Structure 1
Amino acid sequence: MIPDAPAPEAEWFQTPTLRGQHIFLEGLNESHAADMCAGANAETVRLLARGGPSAATPEAWAEYIGRLNALPNRINFAVCLRSSGLCVGRISYSEIKWADRWVEIGTMLLPAAQGTAVNPEAKLLLMARAFEVLGAGRVHFKVDARNARSLRAMHKLGAVQEGTLRQYQVVSGGYARDSVMFSVLRGEWPAVRAGLEARLAALG
């Protein structure tokens, strides 16, 4: 059930542990750095809007996680496998606007987790919290126009493509990227939720 009024602002910035069938989400911290470093490759960080770690070391990953957690109006979750506890990525409310009842979601998954149940279940957990606990009216996603995998994932999710923000953000190396905006509104969430649940059922 989607609440009629938003939860108090402080609740939007909490990081409770969220559990699914395959994964759990917990607050991202430096203890996840070693797993992320071990599982990442150059492609993992190439298109990150906020840049990535300065080197392929656990220490650099820990510093990167610290930078993410210091950003205002943002909270970050580690994506961990229930079977092993291994961290296989992160998913974030990368911007929170309580007054306007929306959140932006951003995801980074390690190669071993891509194309599995991890992505749809992580989206399901975080979107369900946004709509059904926090009372958000909108969840949106900004995707680098060069990121074909993420663009396909947004269409598969059932999010509405709203347009392209041209040269919207300067990323690592000074490149001004185009960002493709997608959104799901509260009235669209039940259908999107059903689609995610069907995908998870098909994946076992």
Structure 2
Amino acid sequence: MWSFPPAFQGRYVALEPLALAHLPEFLARFDPEVYRYLSRGPKEATAEALAAHLEALLAEPGRVNWAIRPTPALLALRPFPGLVGRISVIAPDPENARLELGTMIFRPFWGSPANKEAKYLLLRQAFEALLAERVQFKVDLRNERSQRALEALGAVREGVLRRNRKLPDGTFRDDVVYSLLKEEWPGVKARLESRLYGPLGRP
């Protein structure tokens, strides 16, 4: 059975357990563009819709969710107090040594170190503590920004799952699958640490 720390600390972000208590911060940051490609995103900027969205994330079997909070180092780059977004472990499968990561970053932090470091913290946990063989990511085929981010991370594009998920408006989305394998992690880790923390590559 895999277990995950309740919190992670990086230079730019801190991860804390996601809870309904974060609802006001999600409401304050609501932006339709952020939820545009999510298969279970809220349909409107109401407390009820966002609460239902968070409750669904928290109720999903096996899923582990963290809220992403900025540190002073990130706020020095992007002075927007409040949550950065969330990150989740989806469908962890210890028997087959694999898991999936899903991330949502609010618009003020797009292009900042937040997304990279949040993924870095969980990838390090997956490959170095849990000894995972594979970590995968799935994004909407239309979400080119997220695809470029995963490719910049070093994830390998595997293919497209056609009509894989139903969206809130009743249409279906095609998912692009990316992955990292354990033997790829050392190279990805070195590049991430260099980009995040400079030539010394240390948090």
Structure 2 match to 1:174: 170
TM-score w.r.t. length of structure 2: 0.89
Match of residue 196, structure 2, among 187, 194, 200: 200
TM norm structure 1: 0.88
Query: In structure 2, how many angstroms separate the alpha carbons of the residues matched to 1:59 and 1:177?
Result: 25
Name the residue aligned to 2:156. 160
Q: 1:173 aligns to what SS in structure 2?
A: coil
In 2, distance between residues paired with 1:141 and 1:30? 25
Q: Which residue of 2 aligns with 1:62?
A: 51
Flag as ranges the 4+ runs of structure 1 deviating above 4 A: none
Residue 59 of structure 1 deviates from its aligned partner by: 4.3
Q: Aligned equivalents of 1:120 and 1:184: distance in 2? A: 14
User: Which segments of 5 or more consecutive residues in structure 2 lack a partner in the other structure?
Assistant: 76-80
Give, in whole Å, the separation in 1 of the partners of 2:52 and 2:46.
10
Q: How do 1:69-80 residues align onto structure 2 when only pairs under 5 Å count?
A: 69-80=58-69
1:133 — aligned with what? Answer: 129
Contact 1:36 1:88 in 2 (8 A): no
Change (3 A) 1:101 1:36: same
Which secondary structure does the structure 1 equivalent of 2:169 belong to?
helix
Q: Which of 89, 95, 109 in structure 1 is aligned with 2:85?
A: 89
Give the whole-Å Cα distance in 2 for the aligned partners of 1:107 and 1:58: 21
Unaligned runs of 5+ in 1: 1-8
User: Is the aligned partner of 1:53 residue 2:49?
Assistant: no
The Cα of 1:57 is off from its aligned counterpart by 2.9
Question: Given the alignment of the two structures, is residue 18 of structure 1 paired with residue 14 of structure 2, yes or no?
Answer: no
Q: Could you tell which deviates more after superposition, 26-35 or 145-154?
A: 26-35
| 1:80 CA displacement | 0.6
Residue type matched to 2:26 in 1? M
- RMSD (Å), alpha carbons: 1.7
Q: Distance in 2 between matches of 1:15 and 1:92?
A: 12
Identity %: 41
The one-letter amino acid of 2:168's match is S
Cα distance in 1 between the residues matched to 2:27 and 2:150: 26
Are positions 1:27 and 2:23 aligned together?
Answer: no
Distance in 1 (CA, whole Å) between partners of 2:30 and 2:195 is 25
Aligned to 2:102: 106
- Indicate the SS of the match to 2:193: helix
1:107-143 Cα deviation digits (max 9, x unpaired): 1110011100101100100111111111111100011
